[in-house]
Amino acid sequence: MRKKKPKVRPVRWHAAQESDELIFAVCDRYFFQLGKSAQTSEGEERQRGAATSVAEWIQKEKNRPDITREKIYPLFWEACQRGFLLLQPPIEQNLKKHLEEFYALENYPGEITVVNVRGDSAAQHVTSAAADLIMGLIDRVWKEKKEKFPNNPELQAVHLGMGAGYAAMLVAKRLAAKIHSGEDVPQLVLHAISSGGFLPHEPHKAPSTYFTYFDPSLTNIKYVALFSSTVVDHDDYENLKTNPGIRFSFEQKDDIDIIVTSLAAADHEHGLLVQYLTHLVDQKLLPPNLLEKMRNAGWVGDVQFRPYSVDGSLTDISPVRAVTLFELNELVELAKNPNNGKYVVLVAGPCGECGKTKKHALKPLIANENLRLWTHLVTDAKTARELLE
């Protein structure tokens, strides 16, 4: 008696099996087809639908008769996963103009970008707009360096300083997606401008971890990490900067062309500095009334974990300080000079974890010229309106 052959299960198709080239071709053709259909009030193409037309095109042009209209949308979702589809959020020009007038910024060389988004995804869209702006700055710096150093590719490299935090992480993710999508970019050198490793369960908010978004096989890229203690006593800080493992990072800081940072509010539980100081207080490593003392001293926010009030920087209100390449006054000096080829991008959208705005922390950075540490400020429409109230 013959044994029955076991049934061979067919391999189930999945969009992840397809190549980048085919998935990109599907997206490109789909948008072309939508544009073509939109220009036709009636007709065969509009009635049949874009997905059917794209499937037929792929079958013919790519010799893939197995790609049916039902497979077009899974290919679209796969394109989203691979970072091929990047939405460009809308910019609100009127709010920008009102902010410039309200805070008398007509003569300030900095630029404000107000992203016209609201809701749960506002923080992510603000960081997307910031990343797109940074891509433009990278291109600007690169062109200037190519003119200045035409025969020295090493000196043409663009140095990007990345701060810590959720917003900077999202900016890095968007930048990596745009760079890997095939945009022409120079050699990049990524610098961590703070250690950022405050809490052991949140390593993704430290610059050295999200540098991994950038694939060296796709991008000509180098790294300058900052591996140090999270915070140190004020008296130990100058000695720390001479440590062999840290000194190199400080020696390279003047090479940085574009600094990317965000801010946190003193009254906001998700701020990294608030979280870490609270952690140290709970561990009885700092006085129990420290946060209250700092707020009584006027603390409204921090940039790169350096606290400030509405009047200026607060340097000695805590027994410890964060390790960071730049002090607030250094960022202010960089931002004051529009001809030095240096840029400071301040990402000032709502909290990416709860959506709360940071208006009280942001206002001094706009209103007080001694705290204007940005050449480019990117915020959202809700925050902008609150700043105008």
Tens digit of each residue's pLDDT (9 = 90 or more) over 150-201 = 988 889 999 999 988 888 889 998 898 888 766 678 889 999 998 766 666 6
pLDDT over threshold 60, residue 48: no
Largest CA distance in the chain: 95
Closest CA to 166 of 194, 137, 196: 196
Instruction: Provide the percentage of residues in the chain whose pLDDT is more than 70.
Output: 91
pLDDT over threshold 70, residue 374: yes
| Structure-block tokens of residue 33 | 């087809």
pLDDT for residue 315: 84
pLDDT for residue 43: 46
Q: Which residue has the higher pLDDT, 41 or 363?
A: 363
Closest CA to 369 of 94, 162, 106: 106
Phi-psi region of 260 (alpha: psi -120 to 50; beta: other; left: phi over 0): beta
Q: Model confidence over 55-97: pLDDT tens digits?
A: 999 999 989 999 999 999 889 888 887 777 777 888 999 999 9
Average pLDDT, the chain: 86
Q: Which residue bears the tokens 């990007």?
A: 160
| Structure-block tokens of residue 118 | 């609201």
Q: How many C-beta atoms surround the C-beta of residue 10 within 10 A? A: 6
d(CA 137, CA 119) in angstroms, rounded, equals 28
pLDDT over threshold 60, residue 9: no
Average pLDDT estimate for 321-330 = 92
Q: Model confidence over 199-255: pLDDT tens digits?
A: 666 776 778 788 888 887 767 889 998 888 788 888 888 888 888 878 999 999 999
Closest CA to 324 of 169, 198, 204: 198
Grouping H, G, I as helix, E, B as strand and the rest as coil, residue 151 is: coil
Domain extents in the chain: 16-81, 93-388
pLDDT for residue 179: 81
Ordered DSSP codes for 226-278? ----SEEEGGGHHHHTTSHHHHHHHHTGGG--EEEEE-EETT-TT-HHHHHHH
Tabulate helix, strand, coil % of the chain (nearest 5): 45, 15, 40
Consecutive H or E run containing 367: helix 359-367
d(CA 103, CA 93) in angstroms, rounded, equals 16
- Say how many CA atoms lie within 13 Å of 265 toward its Cβ: 17
Range with the largest mean pLDDT of 188-197, 244-253, 309-318, 326-335: 326-335
Closest CA to 172 of 139, 137, 214, 201: 214
Q: Which fold has domain 93-388?
A: Rossmann fold (3.40.50)
pLDDT for residue 189: 93
Instruction: Provide the percentage of residues in the chain whose pLDDT is more than 90.
Output: 44
pLDDT for residue 47: 45
Q: Which residue bears the tokens 């700055």?
A: 137
